Amino acid sequence: MRTLLSTVGFLFLLLLSHNGGLTGATDAEHSLRATDSHTHRHRRHHGHRRRENFEYSALSCRAYSASLDEFGAVGDGVTSNTAAFRDAVSQLSRFADHGGSLLFVPAGRWLTGSFNLTSHFTLFLHRDAVLLASQEESDYEVIEPLPSYGRGRDTDGGRFISLLFGSNRRENGTIDGQGEPWWGKFKRGELKYTRPYLIEIMHSNSIQISNLTFLNSPSWHIHPVYSSNIVIQGLTILAPVTVPNTDGINPDSCTNTRIEDCYIVSGDDCIAVKSGWDQYGINYGMPTKQLLIRRLTCISPDSAVIALGSEMSGGIEDVRAEDIVAINSESGIRYVIKNTPVWLCLVRLNRNKTCRIKTAVGRGGYVKDVYVRGMTMKTMKYVFWMTGSYGSHPDEHYDPKALPVIQNINYQDMVAENVTMPAQLAGITGDEFTGICISNVTITLSKKPKKVFWNCTDVSGYTSGVTPEPCQLLPEKQPGTVVPCNFPKSPLPIEEVKLQRCNTRRRHM
């Protein structure tokens, strides 16, 4: 697999696409060492530096490195370092074709506006380094909407660029989005453009984000889009559970992604899998596929542990989730196909909640081949939740005949306690959700459960070894034995990718 990845990486190098990677310094005393003559010249220019080395593990090692303080940055939490970050990335981008580079961010509180990442580049945060996102709108350029969305999610038209835009990796430091003024402005309808994300990595291949803490994004925290071969691991993502759209990780039109060992507490879905919005997503036609999510702990009282959708018009295919712990979430895994014909109506977030009830179709796309096993849940409103009649459209040009296809959805080996309603499963009339399998699932109800435990409409499939007794649309397969659901035996290519040990002293030339 490494051969495959490096081949692909090489191709993308020619295409000037991105290739990020990250790793972990375990020794807080380490600073960085320059490894090439350009950097030495640069250092002389900027005065003296400590020269130490550290080891890290990454998808790809970097030949060159520099430290942020060489670029005049000040880690006092007050001075703006936008220019220093942009200068550092611009200088280091020269090494993209010569073994890549690493920017070390030392301990300190580094206030910054948005900056772009570059190819073959690692952003490496010391464990006591905190990136503080600027709260000024003017520190974020306004960029075009994503082609698969057609408009910003919050507002029509453009959107603020993400704090970190491009491709990268880092280690164990903290990136604090300081989202509070943004949440307020959004709720009061004061924003002209869609809020920034903390990280957006677009059109990139070979991305690694490891061992970092993300706090309080203005909106989504991590958004890889139109990208492939992605490893996201060891992240802690924290945002108040009451604030709008602070999704944890949103793989969007991405292929071959592994998300593991993450702890997420947020005001929206912990992981939301996406692939574009209505006619824009259908036209762009880029699905999210080959996604593995494992060892995730999620706390999200109002949202989902893993949401597939609602923007899924490019399709979602081959998603595997294992060893998931969910506490106090609204629903275990949910599929939301939003279908409200009210322009500008965003479910859950819109000030005007009336849009929730209106239904129509137009989302198109598909969700198929989803496999979930090993999930422990505590205090859940719903364990299973699917709906085909919910939501919003980017504008009124969606195609009402574009029916989403939902098929081959498998859940097994799950235990849920203190549940209000085991299942709310609503397909679309004339467009049934098919091939649903639920096996070996034990649900214990809360003291005050809903009267109806399973409410199923327009769905089909089977169950086996499930309590309480499921709905008639999902009959028991072979009473007396527990028949497992499918789970693919062969691993995804991204599961076989191993990190390399790297050293900042390393040279490739």
Catalytic residues: 268
Task: State the Cα–Cα distance between residues 370 and 411, nearest whole angstrom.
Answer: 8
What are 422's two structure tokens?
Answer: 């085991």
CB of 396 to ligand NAG, least distance (A): 12
The correct pick among 26, 242, 429, 467 for binding ligand NAG (CB under 6 A) is: 26
SS3 328: coil
Interaction residues for ligand NAG, span 233-292 (CB under 6 A): 234
Confirm or reject binding of residue 17 to ligand NAG (CB under 6 A). no
Using an 8 Å Cβ cutoff, are 421 and 452 in contact? yes
| Residue 196 DSSP class | P
Confirm or reject binding of residue 415 to ligand NAG (CB under 6 A). yes
Confirm or reject binding of residue 203 to ligand NAG (CB under 6 A). no
What binding mask, one character per residue, do residues 114-133 give for ligand NAG by CB under 6 A, x or -? --x----------x------
Task: State the Cα–Cα distance between residues 15 and 12, nearest whole angstrom.
Answer: 5
Interaction residues for ligand NAG, span 71-110 (CB under 6 A): 86
Task: State the Cα–Cα distance between residues 419 and 479, nearest whole angstrom.
Answer: 25
Confirm or reject binding of residue 113 to ligand NAG (CB under 6 A). no
Confirm or reject binding of residue 230 to ligand NAG (CB under 6 A). no
Specify the residue, 210 or 256, whose C-beta has the smaller distance to ligand NAG: 210
* # residues near ligand NAG by CB under 6 A: 37
Confirm or reject binding of residue 445 to ligand NAG (CB under 6 A). no
Specify the residue, 13 or 377, whose C-beta has the smaller distance to ligand NAG: 377
CB of 185 to ligand NAG, least distance (A): 18
Specify the residue, 51 or 487, whose C-beta has the smaller distance to ligand NAG: 487
Task: State the Cα–Cα distance between residues 148 and 84, nearest whole angstrom.
Answer: 33
Residue of 274, 332, 338, 264 whose CA lies nearest to 304: 332
Stretch binding ligand NAG (CB under 6 A), from 19-27, 151-159, 308-316, 402-410: 19-27
Cα Rg of the chain, angstroms: 23
Stretch binding ligand NAG (CB under 6 A), from 103-111, 148-156, 396-404, 451-459: 451-459
Stretch binding ligand NAG (CB under 6 A), from 16-24, 42-50, 296-304, 398-406: 16-24
SS3 159: strand
The correct pick among 52, 141, 323, 431 for binding ligand NAG (CB under 6 A) is: 141
The correct pick among 167, 253, 256, 440 for binding ligand NAG (CB under 6 A) is: 440
The correct pick among 457, 460, 486, 503 for binding ligand NAG (CB under 6 A) is: 457
Confirm or reject binding of residue 420 to ligand NAG (CB under 6 A). yes
Stretch binding ligand NAG (CB under 6 A), from 184-192, 264-272, 314-322, 349-357: 349-357
CB of 317 to ligand NAG, least distance (A): 25
What are 455's two structure tokens?
Answer: 């409410």
Confirm or reject binding of residue 409 to ligand NAG (CB under 6 A). no
Stretch binding ligand NAG (CB under 6 A), from 151-159, 222-230, 319-327, 413-421: 413-421
Q: Which residue has the tokens 């494992």?
A: 294
Stretch binding ligand NAG (CB under 6 A), from 67-75, 130-138, 186-194, 411-419: 411-419
Using an 8 Å Cβ cutoff, are 317 and 346 in contact? no
Task: State the Cα–Cα distance between residues 9 and 253, nearest whole angstrom.
Answer: 19
Stretch binding ligand NAG (CB under 6 A), from 40-48, 91-99, 266-274, 450-458: 450-458
Confirm or reject binding of residue 173 to ligand NAG (CB under 6 A). no
Interaction residues for ligand NAG, span 309-348 (CB under 6 A): 342, 344-345
Position 389, amino acid: S
Task: State the Cα–Cα distance between residues 404 and 90, nearest whole angstrom.
Answer: 43
Residues 6+ apart with CB under 8 A from 185: 191
Residue of 67, 65, 53, 126 whose CA lies nearest to 101: 65
Residues 6+ apart with CB under 8 A from 207: 18, 19, 20, 21, 167, 168, 169, 201, 224, 227, 229, 230, 231
Confirm or reject binding of residue 413 to ligand NAG (CB under 6 A). yes
Using an 8 Å Cβ cutoff, are 309 and 281 in contact? no
Q: Which residue is nearest to ligand NAG (CB)?
A: 24
Cα dihedral 271, 366, 19, 84, rounded to 10, equals -50
Interaction residues for ligand NAG, span 35-74 (CB under 6 A): 56-57
- Cα 443 to its chain centre, rounded Å, is 28
What are 270's two structure tokens?
Answer: 């912990």
The correct pick among 312, 485, 499, 502 for binding ligand NAG (CB under 6 A) is: 499
CB of 48 to ligand NAG, least distance (A): 27
Using an 8 Å Cβ cutoff, are 363 and 337 in contact? yes
Specify the residue, 356 or 508, whose C-beta has the smaller distance to ligand NAG: 356
| Residue 263 neighbours by CB distance under 10 Å | 18
Specify the residue, 24 or 281, whose C-beta has the smaller distance to ligand NAG: 24
Residue of 462, 304, 293 whose CA lies nearest to 390: 304
Specify the residue, 113 or 248, whose C-beta has the smaller distance to ligand NAG: 113
Task: State the Cα–Cα distance between residues 446 and 467, nearest whole angstrom.
Answer: 14
Q: Which residue has the tokens 């496999």?
A: 371
Can you name the residues that pair with 455 across neighbouring β-strands? 424
What are 410's two structure tokens?
Answer: 């498998």
Residues that bind ligand NAG (CB under 6 A): 22-24, 26, 56-57, 86, 116, 127, 141, 143, 165, 171-172, 210-211, 234, 342, 344-345, 352, 354-355, 379, 413-415, 418, 420, 426, 440, 446, 452, 455, 457, 482, 499
